Amino acid sequence: MRAVVAHRAWCSVGSDRGSPAGGRRAARDVCHPVRATRRHHVSCPESVRTRRDHARRDVTRRASGDASDVTTTKPPANPTAEPPRPPVRGGAPPGAPVMVEEVSTGGAQTRRWTRSPNGGFVSLPPVRANADISSTETSSSAGRLANLDPRTSPRLRRIFLPAGYPDSVSRDYAPFIRWHLGSLVFRNVLEVLTSQSLLVALGMGSAPGALPLTAATKWVLKDGLGSLATLAAGSLGGQKYDEDPKRWWAATNALEDAARAIELATPAFPAAFLPLAASATFVRSAALTGRGSLMNGTFMQHLSRNENLGDVRAKLEVQGRWLALVALPVGIGIFRSVSSAFDADAGEGAYRYAATLGAYGAVIFGHTFCCWKAADVLRFDTLNRARLCKMTRAFVDAETANGEETVFIPLATGTRETETRENVGGGGGADDVPGALGALVALPGVDAAGAEEGVYRARFAADAPTLGASLPECARDWDDLEGLLRLSSFAPRDAGGAIAPRKYVLGWDAARGAPSALLAADAEPHDVMAAALAATKAAVDSNEFANGKERRLEPDVAKTAYAYADARIATFEASARAAGWRADFVQMGTATKYRLETLRR
């Protein structure tokens, strides 16, 4: 009761305590302190209730004779009280509820579980590990807009992003998706524009009475050449797509834009609807074959990191369908704007043509540019022939700069053995043993090589070897081929020092003026890398050996290259792995291979 009186002495709630009603309420509170406490606990603000609790405790302590400041003094320990709980695993304070995190297959947190008061399960939303939005921004408009970001919203993340993002996808997934989604917007707009253009041209080029039959016939006939284009593109370009996906992605999308441009021009030439529409269908079908092969094959295999190709592809479909809904009104609006420029009251002159070319050209350019950027940001960690030749050239140049070279020592038996030594100082060490691991060489990483590779840049240097050469690219004639085969059997050694036939043959590509490597049919990635390393070494030594003479593969240069590859291949593979490259596979594309054992008999 004293606490109630003390509370009503300063509480701002019930300011009518000087009135008759306030007096009657005060009298009831004295008779019923519990009811008064409950009513004021409900009606008082949080800060008022806190001060009330402090005042009640002060009155109680002073009435008992204790004049200490109860607001700063801890209550006496209760020997019968429950001992404090130990800290929860994970650094949570004592008494905090135990949380169990639910993670996806990729390791990303999807939700949290805790214990309910009755012993059941309670599901809570996940907590982001790295919060990009501060507490001051969550109440602002920027914080509200952040809820529309799939990376911050759990619901949108489940809809638009693969499970376990970003651990379940490649590092270049995010930059690729940004540009790819931009290209999808322009592509969907183009589809709306071309569909309307074809329908308009179809109606303009037909007589009114024969419109239904003629239109249906033309619409069916225009798709006839599309099947032939699909067959041609699928049979001629399959392996080329895998070996150079960045260039083919940009090229096939540019080819599709060319087909869309032809379809957009059909209203201007309605009488030529059938040849124009058929030509556009032929070009577009060939482009879509390459585009679909890359997206569903090479790109999905690269972007997925957890055998989740289906999940990554499904999320791309979801993203594309949402953008299609956005692009539909945009395409309709652009087509109506362009059509209004050709109305009778729109005037004559170049205005209508400038408006048409400007609107259509902007959409086509936007699609082409986004597709080019999407290919440019990709960083493939798989070695193809071009990347492998660049890595081997960087490896040979780095060792040459470090002052190492391979020289010959004639033996009494007439054969030749090799050793590796430094230009300054003695030789010896692990590099002298074939297949032994020496000091690693710093090779260009995946990001640096991908940025240098670009999209349309030249893939091979002028003096780069021809890896996976054909017979004419390796030898001048059959006698020359037999001589190269005998030369390839020079002192072969494997990692254990035992004699093992090499699965490649060095030759000379007379058309390019560079060494070449003929691969055996059973050549493994290890053998392909050894062939590239030996051919690169031969290319470097041939430049120094030429001295104005006719460039060809000298026997001594070939033997040096073979010995160099035998001694350095293990170091090269380890250096490639250290730089982030996959050393278990080499994408050879359309390279040819031969059964060399039939020739060595």
Specify if 29 maps to a domain: yes
Examine the domain organization and report whether 401 and 369 are in the same domain: no
pLDDT at position 72 is 47
pLDDT at position 423 is 38
Query: Where does a domain end: 63, 91, 111?
Result: 63
Query: Where does a domain end: 323, 348, 376?
Result: 376
pLDDT at position 278 is 87
Specify if 167 maps to a domain: no
Specify if 153 maps to a domain: no
Q: How many CB atoms lie within 10 A of CB 145?
A: 12
pLDDT average, residue stretch 249-259:
95
pLDDT at position 413 is 34
DSSP 597: G
Mapping DSSP onto H, E and C, the string for 73-127 reads CCCCCCCCCCCCCCCECCCECCCCCCCEEEECCCCCEEEEEEECCCCCEEEECCC
Alpha-carbon distance values, 394 to 209, 397, 398, 401, 528 (Å): 72, 5, 6, 10, 17
- % the chain with pLDDT above 70: 63
pLDDT at position 411 is 32
- The pLDDT tens digits for 12-31 are 444 444 455 555 555 555 45
Examine the domain organization and report whether 474 and 542 are in the same domain: yes
Give the number of domains in the chain: 3
Is residue 367 a contact partner of residue 187, using CB atoms and an 8 Å limit?
A: yes
- The larger pLDDT score, comparing residue 51 to residue 577, is at 577
pLDDT at position 201 is 83
Beta-strand ranges (E) seen in 423-522 are: 466-467, 504-509, 514-520
- The pLDDT tens digits for 50-98 are 565 665 566 555 544 554 444 444 455 555 555 554 444 444 555 567 7
pLDDT beyond 70 at 403: no
Examine the domain organization and report whether 586 and 519 are in the same domain: yes
pLDDT at position 274 is 84
pLDDT at position 182 is 94
pLDDT beyond 50 at 6: no
CA distance 201 to 193: 12
Produce one character per residue of 31-46: b if its CB has 16 or more CB atoms within 10 Å, e if not.
eebeebbebbeeebee
Examine the domain organization and report whether 367 and 507 are in the same domain: no
* Kind of pairing between the strands at 109-115 and 100-103: antiparallel
Q: What share of the chain is helix, strand, coil (3-state, %, to 5)?
A: 55, 10, 35
Specify if 278 maps to a domain: yes
pLDDT beyond 80 at 569: yes
pLDDT at position 116 is 83
Confidence of residue 183 (pLDDT cuts 50, 70, 90): very high
pLDDT at position 426 is 36
In DSSP terms, which residues pair with 121 in a beta bridge? 115
Which long-range contacts link 313-318 to residues 24+ away (Cβ below 8 Å)?
Answer: 315/160, 315/161, 315/162, 316/180, 318/159, 318/160
CA distance 391 to 583: 12
- The larger pLDDT score, comparing residue 544 to residue 388, is at 388
Examine the domain organization and report whether 363 and 388 are in the same domain: no
Examine the domain organization and report whether 365 and 400 are in the same domain: no
Is residue 389 a contact partner of residue 464, using CB atoms and an 8 Å limit?
A: yes
Instruction: Please name which of 297, 299, 301, 263 lies closest in space to residue 279, comparing C-alpha atoms.
Output: 263
Torsional sign, CA 138, 139, 143, 144: positive
pLDDT average, residue stretch 447-468:
93
Specify if 582 maps to a domain: yes
- The pLDDT tens digits for 412-441 are 333 334 444 343 333 344 445 555 566 899
Q: Render 6-31 in DSSP notation, one character per residue.
A: HHHHH-SS-TTTTSHHHHHHHHHHHH
Q: Which domain holds residue 284?
A: 173-376
- The larger pLDDT score, comparing residue 411 to residue 60, is at 60
Torsional sign, CA 382, 383, 386, 392: positive
Examine the domain organization and report whether 207 and 313 are in the same domain: yes
pLDDT average, residue stretch 265-287:
88
Query: Which 3 state secondary structure label does DSSP give 380?
Result: coil
pLDDT at position 593 is 92
Examine the domain organization and report whether 369 and 464 are in the same domain: no
Residue 198: give its domain's CATH number.
1.20.1250
Instruction: Please name which of 274, 226, 281 lies closest in space to residue 258, comparing C-alpha atoms.
Output: 281
pLDDT at position 357 is 86
